[in-house]
A = this chain, B = another copy of it.
Amino acid sequence: MQHRGVTVWLTGLSGSGKTTICEALEKELRSHGCKLEVLDGDIVRENLSKGLTFSKEDRDINVRRIGFVSHLLTRNGVIVLVSAISPYRSVRDEVRQQVGDFFEVHVSAPLSTCEERDVKGLYKKARAGEIKGFTGIDDPYEVPLNPEVNCPTHQETLKQSVDKIVSQLAEAGYLELALA
């Protein structure tokens, strides 16, 4: 599969399904031989942002660092899959401007669904006040206004989400899909 460099940025609440989509998308694109890097929020915190807190200021710095690295990779022809809550609109838009080839995917399960799933048990802790500044509970999540793709994971299957992203990437000229 021929492709151009692009940053595919998955944003959404904790538990919305970003990592799950990211992993499936990675598998799908790798099977077509795409040049690809995954910048998962946790990996980046470990390698680029250790010591940063979850304050608004530090979250913004973290997102900017992911943006900086994504930009370098993207302009060298790599497809970069970013999975990060990235709750604030302004810094996401700042990264969009910087990277240029930026493809925003809103993983949009509602808070009630994410909280019900609570895969990591974090919502429970946030409700109990054990974690402060938790996105969706006592810190805002600012919904993307014009994401390239919206994936309401409470209403569609994983395959549907991935297929939609792949076909929209092709539509936008980033992938050249072989005819089936």
Contact = CB atoms under 8 A, between A and B. Distances in A.
B78 A65 contact: no
A61 B50 contact: yes
Interface string A60-76: 01001100110011001
Contacts of A68: 47-48
Contacts of A61: 50
Interface residues of A, number: 15
Given A73-B73, A76-B73, A77-B76, A65 B37 contact: no
Nearest to A36: B76
5 contacts: A37-B76, A47-B65, A47-B68, A48-B68, A76-B77
**Which 4 pairs between the two chains have the least Cβ-Cβ distance?**
A47-B68, A76-B78, A48-B65, A37-B72
Given A48-B68, A50-B61, A73-B73, 14 more contacts: A35-B76, A35-B77, A37-B72, A47-B64, A47-B68, A48-B48, A48-B65, A69-B69, A69-B72, A72-B72, A72-B73, A73-B76, A76-B76, A76-B77
